[in-house]
Chains A and B, each alone.
Chain A
Amino acid sequence: AAGVIQSPRHLIKEKRETATLKCYPIPRHDTVYWYQQGPGQDPQFLISFYEKMQSDKGSIPDRFSAQQFSDYHSELNMSSLELGDSALYFCASPYGGVEGDGYTFGSGTRLTVV
């Protein structure tokens, strides 16, 4: 079965550079959630989209922005990168059609800021 695809799997950037992370949800799924997981930390909700509109916002820095496109893929843009942005970034795609049915996570993008 098709899963959630994230690219790239690994990314190394220098401080103050910009990074773009991509997420391709399960086909025909119109909702995407982004999470950030720092080293040894639990995942923290960043932002979500439904039908190409932002639906919720969490602890996302102002340096970060995201959008969802017409094909429902989403991109997380991160500018002025800081060492503390080094983390695993997941996107998730709800499935099941039942409220609170959980969702499928991508394998994540590991961002390292040096």
Chain B
Amino acid sequence: AQSVTQLGSHVSVSEGALVLLRCNYSSSVPPYLFWYVQYPNQGLQLLLKYTTGATLVKGINGFEAEFKKSETSFHLTKPSAHMSDAAEYFCAVSVGSNYKLTFGKGTLLTVNP
């Protein structure tokens, strides 16, 4: 079975600073990896995904993530944080032809002015 571990339930950065949200996965077969963002009382919005091909994936709102098989990681980064980035971020994994997602526990990103 697959699983996801997000390191740090709460990350706080200053506006304009680098954002780094960590995600490690466990899967016995090649995984598909996703990052979702959730604003308060809203649904989940896909930021980016890795399925096959290029390991550096660019998403919306200036976010990107790099799939590193050797480290079983899929960390999310953004060079410069904006106040509007404050939200909960979930890393998720699915395997095979099954669309079922297994989520990490989430990381709450706070952006300070």
| Chain A residues with a Cβ under 8 A of chain B | 31, 33, 35, 41-45, 48, 56, 58, 90, 92, 94, 98-108, 110
Specify the chain B residue showing the minimal Cβ separation from A100.
B32
- Cα(A56)–Cα(B95), bound, Å: 14
- Specify which chain B residues have a CB less than 8 angstroms from the CB of A100 in the assembled complex: 32, 49, 51, 94, 97, 99
Known: A100-B51, A102-B34. A33 touches B97 (CB 8 A): no
Interface size on B, residues (CB 8 A): 24
User: How close is B26's CB to chain A, nearest CB, in angstroms?
Assistant: 15
Contact A45 B101 (CB under 8 A): yes
Contact A106 B51 (CB under 8 A): no
- Specify which chain B residues have a CB less than 8 angstroms from the CB of A44 in the assembled complex: 103
- Specify which chain A residues have a CB less than 8 angstroms from the CB of B43 in the assembled complex: 90, 105-108
Specify the chain B residue showing the minimal Cβ separation from A58.
B100
- Specify which chain A residues have a CB less than 8 angstroms from the CB of B97 in the assembled complex: 99-100
Q: Mark B26-54, 1 if CB is under 8 A from A, else 0.
A: 00000010101000011111100101000
| Chain B residues with a Cβ under 8 A of chain A | 32, 34, 36, 41-46, 49, 51, 90, 94, 96-106
- Specify which chain A residues have a CB less than 8 angstroms from the CB of B105 in the assembled complex: 41-42
Task: Tell which of A56, A99, A104, A107 touches B100, judged by Cβ atoms closer than 8 Å.
Answer: A56
Specify the chain A residue showing the minimal Cβ separation from B41.
A110
- Cα(A103)–Cα(B46), bound, Å: 8
- Cα(A99)–Cα(B42), bound, Å: 26
Contact B51 A42 (CB under 8 A): no
- Cα(A95)–Cα(B41), bound, Å: 23
- Cα(A58)–Cα(B97), bound, Å: 16
- Contacts beyond the supplied A43-B90, A105-B45: 4 A-B pairs with Cβ under 8 Å: A42-B90, A42-B103, A99-B97, A105-B44
Contact A31 B99 (CB under 8 A): yes
- Specify which chain B residues have a CB less than 8 angstroms from the CB of A90 in the assembled complex: 43-44
Specify the chain B residue showing the minimal Cβ separation from A98.
B51
- Specify which chain A residues have a CB less than 8 angstroms from the CB of B90 in the assembled complex: 42-43
- Specify which chain A residues have a CB less than 8 angstroms from the CB of B94 in the assembled complex: 100
- Cα(A31)–Cα(B42), bound, Å: 22
